[in-house]
Chains A and B, each alone.
Chain A
């Protein structure tokens, strides 16, 4: 086991249309990049081909600090995948990034799975590398500040 969750879950690969490749490439370099419109400068996530505000196709990728606040959370008990069969409870958080127009990303909350989960708690990103895996990949996890 090399990460927060047991090995054996499906691992992320860039979409075949290339839409989110810059995101995954940046995570491998300990950087968080998200989509930002080059026309209206609005942030958006998840990955899209068009800006939902100004409908520009000119979407760029911009780096942001991996800091946010817990927007919502859940403690998972029932294993819905064989790899998690004996894993025990774990925590998934939905993290809001106020510095990026409040877009949200999903990750795990590191630490005791029975810790108190409080909406609004500031959290910092932790890049969880799986460099020996084939294919290699990086997840963005979160830790309470």
Chain B
């Protein structure tokens, strides 16, 4: 699959605070897809497949009818909640193209929580049964609570300080200050504000937790041959994988490798497919549901040893363009918008194209290898590596 598919276009709507979108969810999806077609310079008629995740309510067949596409050849939903499929949808789209099942596939996510209710809230009923009956009556009912338990164990095992989580949060907020599309544009965050902010659940302050937003984003993938005819610098899918290790989904917090973000087997497969190593990766976008997930996911992708986390996760090190490990360069889920990670995937593509709001310097040779890590701590998770045309003939080819 390496290099078989490439990005034709990307599109996104205005990003809104949750519940404030002035258009319905389905229309937001249409707007993001139309924006991606315009960016690609293709007609929507060329689209023949749709890939989404997290039980997206916008059905492929509805989109196909509304957009009047000629023929629907591929309609696939990645199982799993949250943003675990934000790279998996790209993987599924690229797989369809690589295997000839479709020629032009849209990976998308649309969210309007005003229309459909919020995440992060406990159940509002009198009784509960099944696996949740063993957690919810003890007050364990939100994603923040589900994941703080894993992060506390990881930080204990490896002696990681709160400052590592803080650096991840501050980097996203700082990167958003040069991104006018970010919901936190013009709303900088200081270390003091972070330290004094309220706890949601230890070790997560409120600034360690993603926002909830309304909007939509879309990425159109085509064959590498077709992409060569299009306007943008070609951005190839070098590798895109999903999954999780042995029994991550064991109920009641019984994942055997508990203090992980579920990438222990996924990351090695990603590098193998992409033909690159962590040292080849120029820039990383890592999905912040919570900063602790970023911490573990970056470790599991081989960028730092867990025992080095306190030295590695500093604000200076995570900032573009001068840090050694620029992270979440558009503001990410925390400060750009929470599009279940698809916004981060688009930012990974922008870095290759040279159009990021915090573009890595051309003096460094530009960005040839750009990674997006999706949905740490859920299952399945996914990650993707995009490459420039230089990677097709260069490293690992």
B128 partner, pick from A12, A94, A107, A108, beta carbons under 8 A:
A12
Give the distance in Å from the alpha carbon of A71 to the alpha carbon of B258 in the complex.
Answer: 10
Q: Does A5 contact B (CB under 8 A)?
A: yes
Q: Is the CB of B144 within 8 A of A78?
A: yes
B135 at the interface (CB under 8 A from A): yes
Closest to A77 in B: B199
Tell me whether A15 and B198 are in contact (CB under 8 A): no
- Complex Cα spacing A80 to B153, Å: 22
- The reply to whether the CB of A11 lies closer than 8 angstroms to some CB of chain B is yes
Option from A9, A15, A46, A107 in Cβ contact (under 8 Å) with B129: A15
Interface set, chain A 1-52, CB cutoff 8 A to B = 5, 9-16, 20, 44-48, 52
Q: Does B281 contact A (CB under 8 A)?
A: no
Answer yes or no: B122 CB below 8 A from chain A CBs. Answer: yes
Q: Which residues of A contact B129 (CB under 8 A)?
A: 12-16
Q: Is A63 an interface residue (CB 8 A)?
A: no
Q: Please judge, given known A-B contacts A10-B127, A75-B202, A84-B139, whether A45 and B254 are in contact too, CB under 8 Å.
A: yes
A44 to chain B, nearest CB (A): 8
Please tell me if the beta carbons of B127 and A12 are within 8 angstroms of each other in the complex. yes
Q: Which residues of A contact B355 (CB under 8 A)?
A: none
Q: A78-B144, A78-B200, A106-B140 are in contact. Are A46 and B252 (CB under 8 A)?
A: yes
Select from chain A the residue with minimum beta-carbon distance to B153.
A72
Contact A92 B139 (CB under 8 A): yes
The answer to whether B152 touches A81 (Cβ under 8 A) is no
Q: Is the CB of B126 within 8 A of A80?
A: no
A141, closest chain B residue (CB): B138
- Whether A103 lies near B139 (C-beta < 8 A) is no
Question: Cβ of A74 and Cβ of B133 under 8 Å apart?
Answer: no
Q: In whole angstroms, how far apart are the Cα atoms of A69 and B312 in the complex?
A: 32
Residues of A within 8 A of B139 (CB): 5, 9, 76, 81, 84, 90, 92, 108
What's the least CB distance linking A89 to chain B, in Å?
8
Residue-wise, chain A 86-109 has the 8 Å CB interface mask toward B (1 for contact) of: 000110101000000001111110
B188 within 8 A of A: no
Q: How many A-B residue pairs have CB under 8 A?
A: 137
Q: Is the CB of B202 within 8 A of A74?
A: yes
B131–A107 contact, CB under 8 A? no
Q: Nearest Cβ in chain A — how far from B302, in angstroms? A: 24
Known A-B contacts A45-B254, A119-B153; the reply to A77 vs B201 at CB < 8 A is yes
**A46 partner, pick from B126, B127, B134, B138, beta carbons under 8 A:** B134
Flag if A9 contacts B137 (CB, 8 Å). Answer: yes
Q: Is the CB of A81 within 8 A of B122?
A: yes
The reply to whether A80 and B120 form a contact with Cβ atoms under 8 Å apart is: yes
Q: Within 8 Å CB of A13, what residues of B?
A: 127-129, 133
- Report if A73 contacts B (CB, 8 A): yes
Is B253 within 8 A of A94, CB to CB?
yes
Whether A73 and B152, one on each chain, are in contact in the complex, defined by CB atoms closer than 8 angstroms, is yes
Q: Is the CB of A10 within 8 A of B126?
A: yes
Mask of B115-132 contacts with A, CB within 8 angstroms, 1/0: 000001111111111110
Using a CB-CB cutoff of 8 Å, which residues 90-144 of chain B contact chain A?
120-131, 133-142, 144
Q: Contacting B137 at CB < 8 Å: which of A14, A20, A90, A139?
A: A139
Determine if A72 and B127 form an interchain contact, defined as CB atoms under 8 angstroms apart: no
9 residue pairs from A and B, CB less than 8 Å apart: A11-B137, A74-B148, A74-B201, A75-B199, A76-B139, A76-B201, A78-B201, A80-B144, A106-B134
Residues of B within 8 A of A (CB): 120-131, 133-142, 144-145, 148-150, 152-153, 156, 198-202, 206, 247, 250-254, 258-259
